[in-house]
Amino acid sequence: MSTSSLSAKSSLDSLRSGSSLQSEPNLLAPAVKGPMAWEGSELKDYIIPLSASEIEIIKAAVTYFKCKNQALTYDLAKNLPRGSIHRSTFPLSKQLTNKLSAISNEVYHGRGVAVLRGLDTANFNGEDSVIAFAGISSYVCPLRATDSYAFQTLSHVRDATHDPVPEFAKGLGLAGSKIGTAMGFHCDRFSGDILALNVLDDGGAGKGGEQYLSSFWKVYNELLESDPAVLETAAAASWPFELKQKDSDPYLQLEPILFFSKGKPICQLVKAPLLGTPRIPRSKAMPDVSAEQLHAMEAIENVAKRYSVKVDRQNGDIQYINNLGIMHARSAYGGTERSSRHLLRMFLRDPENMWEIPKTYQAKFDDAFVEDREQNLPVEDSDPWRKTSGRYCHG
């Protein structure tokens, strides 16, 4: 069993010294200021339109990458060439490069949200959509996370509940990204700095699956004034996470859900490994969350809802969301009929803009960005039972 403990230094000391160590439970950073501390009605003008000429440049870059790799001999099932998508293999104009690079500064140091719009007019097929998503995103954040548990770089967020279940998958649950149940506000734990989502199909109007965002900085400031004990509970390294491991029983990890980066509060709250999900129940061998932790999750959820905003979403959109300071949620969708809702998901990092990582937990924040790890960017979601989520799960 592996456990983590809090640093002896408080976040206030970290703020003064310039370090970024985790806080003690009863010493919290002061209220945080900046453009990321917004409430829903204040989040406007985050849509970045692509012009017709920029769409043509992107289409040309997709063609360039496919032609560059056409002569290579490789196993199509493993999708190895797509792991080599980066700026040098996906060339764009200087003007478009600057436009995409500016998104990184906005999601790290601005409001934490940006949506690139217009790719629906490109009429990409499945393979071209994956190439375009990875290529465009390499200009926003050059590093793509690859999960050390499932070894996936790109995952498909879709309804897999109506898929035929192969023999090996019987008895295995589906992760939250593969079912249509509602998800409360969360940040995907140790998955990456920036959540990137490409909307291939929004599922249709009135069919559910709406997305919502809420600033954790705003939540933090509110709770610091109204119920600081919730934040003290969140910062304590006593949350009983149930973590997966291959071919063996899950194990217990005691960690906080609230971290600090030079006074900036970081949320890494994922409820699935704390409470279980409808398709993946929590092991009875794991300890329950405490009454104080249940209260903290409820309080954070209530404040996040109060200050949330529904995402302005269209097919073709690429959403870039700060996964450290912005919480996300969704409404239920699907049910008795298969939903067409389909998003592509990656987690990203820009070394030039990234926040300093809390030193006590740096290895966990950095694990998904280990160099030279093979990247898997599948065009089709052919194995929703095994390669759906990381060791911590999502949602």
pLDDT at 172: 74
Are residues 360 and 7 in contact, defined by beta-carbon separation less than 8 angstroms?
Answer: yes
Helix residue spans in the chain (DSSP H): 11-17, 52-70, 94-109, 126-140, 216-226, 228-235, 272-275, 291-306, 362-366
pLDDT at 390: 61
* Amino acid (1-letter code) at residue 18: G
pLDDT at 5: 30
Q: What is the pLDDT of residues 170-200, one digit of tens each?
A: 777 788 888 899 999 999 999 999 999 999 9
Are residues 341 and 207 in contact, defined by beta-carbon separation less than 8 angstroms?
Answer: yes
Are residues 338 and 159 in contact, defined by beta-carbon separation less than 8 angstroms?
Answer: yes
Extract the tokens encoding 45. 């003008």
Burial of 53 (0-12, 13-18, 19+ CB in 10 A): exposed
Neighbours of 162 (CB within 10 A): 10
Are residues 238 and 244 in contact, defined by beta-carbon separation less than 8 angstroms?
Answer: no
User: Hey, where are the domains in the chain?
Assistant: 2-369
pLDDT-flagged residues of the chain (< 50) = 1-25, 73-80, 387-388
Whole-number Å distance between alpha carbons of 297 and 273: 13
Q: Any idea how long the chain is?
A: 395
**Residue entry with tokens 């043509």:** 56
Whole-number Å distance between alpha carbons of 119 and 158: 20
For the domain made up of 2-369, the CATH class stated in words is: alpha beta
3-state SS record for 327-373: EEEECCECCCCCCCCEEEEEEEECCCCCCCCCHHHHHHHHHHHCCCC
Extract the tokens encoding 284. 């009875």
Whole-number Å distance between alpha carbons of 5 and 116: 40
Are residues 48 and 117 in contact, defined by beta-carbon separation less than 8 angstroms?
Answer: yes
Burial of 11 (0-12, 13-18, 19+ CB in 10 A): buried
Are residues 161 and 178 in contact, defined by beta-carbon separation less than 8 angstroms?
Answer: yes
